[in-house]
Chain A
Amino acid sequence: MDVLNVDYMLGLVPVLLRYLPLTLQLAGIGMVLALILACLFAVVRVLRIPVLNQLTIVFISFFRGTPLLVQLFLFYYGLPQLVSALTVIDGITATIMGLTMHFSAYMAESIRAAIVGVDRSQTEAALSIGMTNGQLMRRIVLPQATRVALPTLMNYFIDMIKATSLAFTLGVTELMGATQKEASGSFLYFEAFIVAAIMYWIVVELLSKLQHHLEIRLNKAYSR
């Protein structure tokens, strides 16, 4: 085996860095949308809103029960075949849709568990002073559930950042797609992919630091 071509690796860093923003955008937008969707699902499940509850259960079951790659192909290749208006869906949109639905299904369950975990007596106290269900959720339950759910949600976010690499199968040139192109030009596969791997790793490490700070802040109210 040859020694690693370090010069090539160093030269690759600025090239690949140009594609990192797209990777982060895919994950960032996907996460925000997935969070919104997951909160809605969780509230529907907790309040057992008729019809919506059943639909949500099926949705969650499907998106948890099938591989993300299959879902991405369904959105990108499958939907346009059924509905011709959907041929406008490009790889980026399809990726964001896939990430959003796939991860919202997982996150809905952990948010639901966190909501159910909030002390029932606080719910009664909020109702006793005349709050509506919406006010109760927004002001009392969700803020406390956030604290409980945060570590799991951050894990999903980290997972989602890595999952954006699947976008290259839809022809999106994000970090993984760019690396693949560079590597097949130079044939230095190990060097190229180890640089990409380290980039993902650094991003995830930075996020873990952020998570640590957020946890300290959110725990402030609960320490003696």
Chain B
Amino acid sequence: MIKLASLSKHFGKSVVLDGIDLTIEKGEIVVVIGPSGTGKSTLLRCINFLEQPTAGTMSVGDLTVDVNRASRADILAMRRRTAFVFQNYALFANKTALQNIAERLLVVDRWPKAKAYQRARDILERIGLADKADAYPASMSGGQQQRVGIGRAMAAGAEVILFDEPTSSLDPEWVEEVLGLMKQLAAERQTMMVVTHEMSFARDVADRVIFIDGGRIVEQGPPDEIFHHPQDPRTQDFLKKILASNTV
């Protein structure tokens, strides 16, 4: 379970996250939508401590930290509980697909080599890239790279996987295979928090849709409610714009 309380992030004078309160249950699939530059990505990055939040507390699993008092050990522990999937894949260019997935097991969790590579091979199997084990990122398509990126996040057995616009930099032809893998994970009830503009994914897969604007949660609920009966004018406005180019 994840619990954020009054989580804020300021960049200088600008307030990017303005007191976010949010609880996500184990196995829940949450999709975060909202206009660009409203703090969606920053929210995910704060949970993973890629950004240092300005104030608030975060709990993931059995770990609770006050972000202002987080020690280095707290930050590492929080990162180990939360896996991140990047918009631009961010695979390690000097490592093969197999090594990219095994890396954290070997280095962070200090598993024996044989066990780590076995787990990595199992994951490659699950993401349908068993034949790419020894391929380097430069030789893979965007879709394949992002599937490895998701595989790397799966390796950890993290409490939650945070997806930061995982299909936004993909050519259209690769979007489906990545969304397909995410749906497969959702079906296995992997706790997920997904920032995306793929409204059909939100409608089909999310348990809950959260609309963020101006660094605050404006509205949240089941996809049906948000997409068909949005209450707040800002949500209505955003959906009108985005659905014009996106068929739900």
Contact = CB atoms under 8 A, between A and B. Distances in A.
Interface of A: 119, 121-122, 124-132, 135, 139-140, 143-144, 147, 220-224
Nearest to A136: B107
Given A122-B93, A143-B94, 19 more contacts: A121-B86, A121-B90, A122-B92, A124-B86, A125-B84, A125-B92, A128-B48, A128-B83, A129-B84, A130-B77, A130-B80, A130-B104, A135-B108, A140-B94, A144-B93, A147-B94, A221-B94, A221-B136, A223-B139
Interface of B: 48-50, 76-77, 79-80, 82-84, 86, 88, 90-96, 103-104, 107-108, 136, 138-139, 152, 156
Contacts of A143: 94
Given A139-B103, A221-B138, A223-B139, A128 B93 contact: no
B1 to A, nearest CB: 20
B146 to A, nearest CB: 12
B90 A144 contact: no
Nearest to B81: A130
A122 B90 contact: yes
A131 B90 CA distance: 15
A128 B50 contact: yes
Contacts, number: 73
B104 A221 contact: no
A110 to B, nearest CB: 19
A121 B88 contact: yes
Contacts of B77: 130
Nearest to A222: B138
A162 B103 CA distance: 42
A131 B107 contact: yes
Nearest to A221: B136
A130 B76 contact: yes
Nearest to B104: A129
A93 B83 CA distance: 51
A147 B94 CA distance: 10
A139 B91 CA distance: 13
A54 to B, nearest CB: 24
Given A222-B136, A222-B138, A119 B93 contact: yes
Contacts of B96: 221
A140 B103 CA distance: 10
Nearest to A142: B94
B93 A131 contact: no
Contact of B92 (A126, A130, A147, A220): A126
Considering the complex of A and B, which 5 residue pairs feature the smallest CB-CB distances, nearest first?
Answer: A121-B90, A125-B90, A128-B84, A130-B80, A129-B104
Contact of A129 (B83, B95, B138): B83
Contacts of B108: 129-131, 135
Contacts of A139: 103, 107
A139 B107 CA distance: 9
Nearest to A125: B90
A46 B48 CA distance: 23
A222 B92 CA distance: 11
A129 B103 contact: yes
A222 B96 CA distance: 11
Contacts of B90: 119, 121-122, 124-125
A135 B79 CA distance: 15
Contacts of A144: 93-94
Contacts of A127: 49-50, 79
